Amino acid sequence: MLDLSQYQSIGAALKDALEQFSEEVCLIEADREREKDRLTYRDFKDRAQPLAKALQDTVFAPGDRASIIMTNQSKWLISAYAAFHAGGVLVPLDYKLTPDEQWQLLKHSGARVLITEYPIWRQLSAAAAGRSMAPNVGTVLVTEAPASADLGGAQRWEEFRGNGEPTFVPRTRQELACIVYSSGTGGRPKGCMMTHENYLEQCVALTSIYPFAPGVRYLSILPTNHAIDFMVGFFGPFICGATVVHLRTLRPEYVREAFAKYKITYVSLVPLVLKNLQKGLQARFDELPSGKRKVFSAIVAVNKALTKSRPRLGLSRRLLKQVHEPFGGELRTIIVGGAFTEPQTLQFFYDLGIPVANGYGLTEAGTAITVNDLKPFRADTVGKPLPGMEVRVVSPTADGIGEVSVRSKTIMSGYLNEPELTAEAIVDGWLMTGDLGRFDAVGHLQLFGRKKNMIVTEEGKNIYPEDIEAVFESLPVKEFCVFAANYIWPQRSMVGEQLLLALHLEPGQTYTDELRRDISVRNSKLLNYKRIHGVVLFEEDFPRTASLKIKRNALAEQLAKLDRATAFLPL
Amino acid sequence: MRTLEQTTQEVLDLASKHFNVPAGSLAPEDDFFKKLGIDSLQTLEMLSRLENHFGIELPDYEVQGVSDFRTLASRIQSRL
């Protein structure tokens, strides 16, 4: 591993990694059962340099912003490196957003260059209104476009190549490396401004617990625009000479195959996928004949006893060969992130000899704040603060629960163009997370729900209710407002979060089937993870400011007086 | 060559069989997430079944943002 204390920027560290590990395999890309590409670090450099040179020769000046909207693949990382080499700032965006949302964020970020894949560009270029909104995007590079495709002014990524060596543009630790959108495309997109130091420090902290090295293979499934995959599926493995495996389809059967085929060492998953994996394994165990099932359960119990104080991977792999072989037999840890994972899921895998690195983090904090160090494994907490993280619980109640706040060199410098939001989020150098937590006697952090009006889905999506109100505009009611149910009625739980639509009907109006259907139809226009789960009827005027904006906090306080069990009408 | 209507019907039949819902209870305009109560991962499983049935490959990006049977069937139809 490179000594990151010697480096000023992501680009400088990556540049040296490409030299130091030139003969190691850095990327493998597979599509279904077919391996499409296998690159050494030298190959990677050979592909990235002409792109960096072309960027420098044409449109891109140091400090300019380049956005990437791509699925996980080698060209994502090659493009990112080229941008860093040229001294650029990266704006990784979620390929699952709608084209309009993507254009909004492209505009907000001020990106000059967009690098994307053909299927995504097809949709983006069809959203003409969106495109006209973001004239800042002067250059569009499109990968894998068919020869006959009309790219509507965009250029082919494969043909955008400069001749000769690109100039490496140094950056300092305090300069901006990435703008990462933690959520929201509504009124106030939250673009986290992450510095080079944020990433360098986070990488040192994480690799001290989960080390990478040549020969280690990371399966990249979480979108690379996500802070976790950017760190453990790109920067972390690269500065250690490890290998990243990309799959062009995420069908469960091909993901399963990839574990064994590429003998995966680490993978990051969202809780939803982990739970699905658990269900699949449990179904397999349940199908065993009664006698075999008893023997299997006994072996699991033995493994559990022998790994009580620490994981013993070699032993677990021998004891539970039939479980470990389909995973390739070399899986060290499943990293789970993006949302809260239920303790029983974590325990299920640990008992099988597959440690799950559960932790807690926010994009704003530079990925992870706490992580379970497995000494010993604890399913009921999100672990201890990573090295370099100061974590405290603010204004705790009698039972020790309060808002978790964090101070470290990994905390973002602020939200892009949002000084007010930044001032709310970072107070005297401490990031206020909006999550409620408590430390136990041995320094493990336990979480108890959210203080803010938002939800995080099991797929790791942050949703702010105000961002989804547009689809309910002109709903034939007097007024409406969307909330996170837990914000109104705190459950002290990090799972099962739901959104609700508070309705104030017109005088004499009733909540009819027709109105319910209207809400359902509008709801179905939202992506499935953004949908509301139920309705709450409120009989008074919503409290409003002088400029007639709804006072959400005041309304939430009034709604909280209603009994959730009877007031919440499921859709 | 199947018509779009035939393809749509076969998609509905296969979905009702795979997720154990009564035949005839699904309509082309139905939102399959909601009607079948499935998540994004189960949708990917359904796509694999459909690929095997129709003998095609349907890239993940083709079904990005699709949530109703009719649109899904039209994406399949374009690859038959």
Please check whether residue B64 touches A, CB under 8 A. Answer: yes
By three-state DSSP, how is residue A520 classified?
helix
B66 pLDDT higher than 90: no
Confidence of residue A10 (pLDDT cuts 50, 70, 90): very high
Please check whether residue A560 touches B, CB under 8 A. Answer: no
Q: Which is more confidently placed, A261 or A486?
A: A261
Query: Which residues of chain B have a CB within 8 Å of the CB of A98?
Result: 65
Mean pLDDT of A258-285: 91
Q: Rounded to a whole number, what is the distance in angstroms from the first to the last CA of chain A?
A: 53
Q: How far apart are CA B46 and CA A30, in angstroms?
A: 21
A554 pLDDT higher than 80: yes
Mean pLDDT of B15-34: 88
Question: Token pair of A120, please?
Answer: 């995504």
> Do the beta carbons of residue A438 and residue A394 sit within 8 Å?
no
> Do the beta carbons of residue A437 and residue A401 sit within 8 Å?
yes
Q: Which is more confidently placed, A528 or A184?
A: A528
Confidence of residue A62 (pLDDT cuts 50, 70, 90): very high
Please check whether residue A524 touches B, CB under 8 A. Answer: yes
The alpha-carbon gap from A84 to the nearest alpha carbon of chain B, in Å, equals 27
Please check whether residue A528 touches B, CB under 8 A. Answer: yes
Q: Best residue in B40, B56, B68, B79 to probe A by mutation, most A CBs within 10 Å?
A: B40
Query: Residue A374, Cβ neighbours under 10 Å: how many?
Result: 19
- Judge: B40–A272 Cβ closer than 8 Å, yes or no: yes
A184 pLDDT higher than 60: no
Mean pLDDT of A111-119: 96
> Burial code of A375-389, b = ≥16 C-beta within 10 A, e = fewer?
eebbbebbbbbbeeb
* In chain B, residues 21-60 whose CB comes closer than 8 Å to chain A: 31, 33-34, 39-41, 44-45, 47-48, 57, 59-60
Whether ipTM tops 0.85, in short, is no
Query: Which residues of chain A have a CB within 8 Å of the CB of B44?
Result: 250-252
Q: What is the pLDDT of residue A541?
A: 92
Give percent of chain A with pLDDT exceeding 70. Answer: 99
β-pairing, A139-143 vs A445-450, is unpaired
What does the radius of gyration of chain A's CA atoms come to, in whole angstroms? Answer: 24
Please check whether residue A440 touches B, CB under 8 A. Answer: no
Residue where the block lists tokens 């995973």:
A327
Continuous segment of H or E residues that includes residue A550: none
Q: What is the pLDDT of residue A187?
A: 54
Question: What's the predicted TM-score (pTM) here?
Answer: 0.86
A186 pLDDT higher than 70: no
Q: What is the pLDDT of residue B62?
A: 79
Mean pLDDT of B10-26: 90
pLDDT in tens, A167-177: 999 999 999 99
Q: Which long-range contacts (CB under 8 A, 24 or more apart) does B46-52 make?
A: B46/B14, B46/B15, B46/B18, B46/B19, B47/A251, B48/A251, B48/A252, B48/A253, B49/B14, B49/B18, B50/B11, B50/B14, B50/B76
A18 pLDDT higher than 70: yes
Q: What is the pLDDT of residue A459?
A: 75
Query: Which residues of chain B have a CB within 8 Å of the CB of A95?
Result: 64
Give percent of chain A with pLDDT exceeding 90. Answer: 75
At the topology level of CATH, where does B4-77 sit? 1.10.1200
Q: Best residue in B32, B35, B44 to probe A by mutation, most A CBs within 10 Å?
A: B44
> Do the beta carbons of residue A499 and residue A533 sit within 8 Å?
yes
Q: Best residue in B39, B66, B78 to probe A by mutation, most A CBs within 10 Å?
A: B39
pLDDT in tens, A140-167: 999 999 999 999 899 999 999 999 999 9
- Considering only CA atoms, which of A262, A174, A264, A270 is closest in space to residue A229? A270
Beta bridge partners of A499: A484
Q: How far apart are CA A220 and CA A201, in angstroms?
A: 22
Q: How far apart are CA A383 and CA A430, in angstroms?
A: 20
Q: How far apart are CA A238 and CA A244, in angstroms?
A: 8
Confidence of residue A449 (pLDDT cuts 50, 70, 90): confident
- Judge: A528–B67 Cβ closer than 8 Å, yes or no: yes
Confidence of residue A482 (pLDDT cuts 50, 70, 90): very high
Residue A435 Ramachandran class (φ > 0 left, ψ -120 to 50 alpha, else beta) = beta
> Do the beta carbons of residue A330 and residue A264 sit within 8 Å?
yes
- Considering only CA atoms, which of A233, A243, A231 is closest in space to residue A10? A231
Residue A17 CB-half CA count within 13 A: 31
A522 to chain B: closest CA residue: B31
Confidence of residue A86 (pLDDT cuts 50, 70, 90): very high
A33 pLDDT higher than 70: yes
Mean pLDDT of A180-198: 83
Residue A269 CB-half CA count within 13 A: 23
CA dist A180 → A64, A91, A271, A531 (Å): 15, 6, 21, 24
Q: What is the pLDDT of residue A124?
A: 93
The alpha-carbon gap from A570 to the nearest alpha carbon of chain B, in Å, equals 13
> Burial code of A327-338, b = ≥16 C-beta within 10 A, e = fewer?
bbebbbbbbbbb
Residue where the block lists tokens 């072309």:
A54
Please check whether residue A120 touches B, CB under 8 A. Answer: yes
A277 to chain B: closest CA residue: B41
- Name, in order, each residue with C-beta under 8 angstroms of A491's C-beta and a sequence gap of 6 or more: A449, A485
Q: What is the pLDDT of residue A4?
A: 97
- Judge: B62–A119 Cβ closer than 8 Å, yes or no: yes
Mean of the per-residue pLDDT values of chain A: 92
Confidence of residue A218 (pLDDT cuts 50, 70, 90): very high
A185 pLDDT higher than 60: no
Nearest to B44 among A95, A96, A251 (CB): A251
Question: Token pair of A444, please?
Answer: 């493990």
Q: Which domains does chain A carry?
A: 4-261 (3.40.50.12780), 270-450 (3.40.50.12780), 464-570 (3.30.300.30)
Q: What is the pLDDT of residue A350?
A: 96
Phi, psi of A339 (to 5 degrees): -160, 175
Question: Token pair of A258, please?
Answer: 């990839």
Residue A453 CB-half CA count within 13 A: 18
A324 pLDDT higher than 90: yes
CA dist A548 → A189, A424, A470 (Å): 22, 22, 17
Interface size between A and B, measured as CB pairs under 8 A? 44
- Name, in order, each residue with C-beta under 8 angstroms of A34's C-beta and a sequence gap of 6 or more: none
CA dist B45 → A228, A360, A366, A419 (Å): 25, 30, 33, 44
Question: Token pair of A24, please?
Answer: 């190691």
- Judge: A248–B60 Cβ closer than 8 Å, yes or no: yes
- Judge: B41–A272 Cβ closer than 8 Å, yes or no: yes
pLDDT in tens, A361-402: 999 999 899 998 888 999 999 999 999 999 999 999 888 999
- Judge: A252–B45 Cβ closer than 8 Å, yes or no: yes
- Judge: B41–A252 Cβ closer than 8 Å, yes or no: yes
* In chain A, residues 277-296 whose CB comes closer than 8 Å to chain B: none
- Considering only CA atoms, which of A491, A492, A487 is closest in space to residue A452? A487
Domain ranges of chain B: 4-77
